[in-house]
Amino acid sequence: MTLEDAIVATADRIAELLQAGADPHTPLRGAEWTVGEAAAHLALAGKLMADIAAGEERPYGDGTPSGLAAANRAALAAFPQRDPAVLGAETAETARAFVAAAAGRSPHESVLTPMGPMNMTTLGSYLLTHLLGHGYDIAVALRGPHMVNREVVAFTLPFMRLAMPRVVNAGAAGHRACYLLRIGRDRFAVTFADGVPTVTDTPPRRPDCTIAIDPVAFLLLALGRWTARTTMARAKVVAWGRRPWLGLRFPLLFTAP
C-alpha cells in the first residue's frame, strides 16, 4: 500500500459509512459536532487540500489548534450541505482529486498549508491523518467499523512528527526531557529543552523515557480520541527508562490538532 492508496481507501470507507443511511443529526461521541457536520467538514477540508496540491493558495486559520477550530466553525456556517450521502461522495471525490494533483508535483516540493509549510508527502500525510481522525469519529457514532489500522497509521507519521512542535501547550512550559517513541516498527525522538520540543530520527542523548505504543493507539491518543489512562488500561503502551513516569505526562504536553 502507498500513501495515495491509503488516502483513497480511507475516503472510500468513510463514504460507505455515510452512504448507508446515516442520520446527519447523530451526535459524535465527546464532541460538539454531529455526523452531518463532521461529514461537511471532511468534504470542505478535502477540497482545501486538493486545491493546495493543485497549486492554489488557500489561507485557513493561523496554524494553531484554536485558530483552526475558529476557521472550521466559519467554514461550516457558510456551507449548509449536511446530507451524509452527498458529503460522502464529495469526500471520496476530493481524495482522488488530491492524489491526481499531487502526482504532478515533486514529493519534496514545499507548499503552505493550514498547519504551516510542508512538503507534498507530508501534506498527503496530513490529509490522511485528518480523514482517519474524523472518519473514526463518524464510525464510532454510527457504530460501524473504523478505518484506523497499523498499516495506514505508518503513513500519518510524517505529519505527526511535523505537527508536534506546533501543538505544544502551556503544560510543557520549562519541560526538559528526552523521549524515544517506538510506534510499531517506526522510531523517533522528541527532546524538550525549556518547553520547546525538537523531533529527530534518533535521540541526541540517552532517553529519559522510552515509550513503546501500538500504532493505532498512538494515533487515537495523539488525536485526542483516547486518553493516556485509557491507552494504558488497554495495555497498548509501555514506558521505561530513567524517568518512566514521564510516559503518562507526554501526551498531556500537546493539544490535539
Q: Is 204 exposed, middle or buried (0-12, 13-18, 19+ CB in 10 A)?
A: exposed
Domain with CATH 1.20.120.450 in the chain: 3-161
CA atoms within 13 A on the CB side of 190: 26
Cα–Cα distances (Å) from 86 to 24, 33, 36, 208, 230, in that order, read 11, 18, 10, 49, 35
Q: What is the pLDDT of residue 181?
A: 98
* Percentages of the chain per state (helix, strand, coil), in multiples of 5: 50, 15, 30
The cell numbers describing 157, all together, are: 507519521
User: Which amino acid, one-letter code, is at 248?
Assistant: L
Q: What tens digit of pLDDT does each residue of 80-129 get?
A: 999 999 999 999 999 999 999 999 999 999 999 998 999 999 999 999 99
Domain with CATH 3.30.1050.10 in the chain: 167-253
The cell numbers describing 88, all together, are: 460522502
Q: What is the pLDDT of residue 101?
A: 97
Domain spanning 167-253, CATH architecture: 2-Layer Sandwich (3.30)
Q: What is the pLDDT of residue 61?
A: 79
Q: Which residues are within 8 A (CB) of 224 and not within 5 positions of it... i.e. 6 or more apart?
A: 256
pLDDT band at 230 (very low <50, low <70, confident <90, very high): confident
Q: What tens digit of pLDDT does each residue of 45-78 get?
A: 999 999 999 999 888 878 777 888 899 999 999 9
Q: What is the C-alpha separation between 162 and 109, in angstroms, rounded?
A: 15
Q: Which CATH class is domain 3-161?
A: mainly alpha
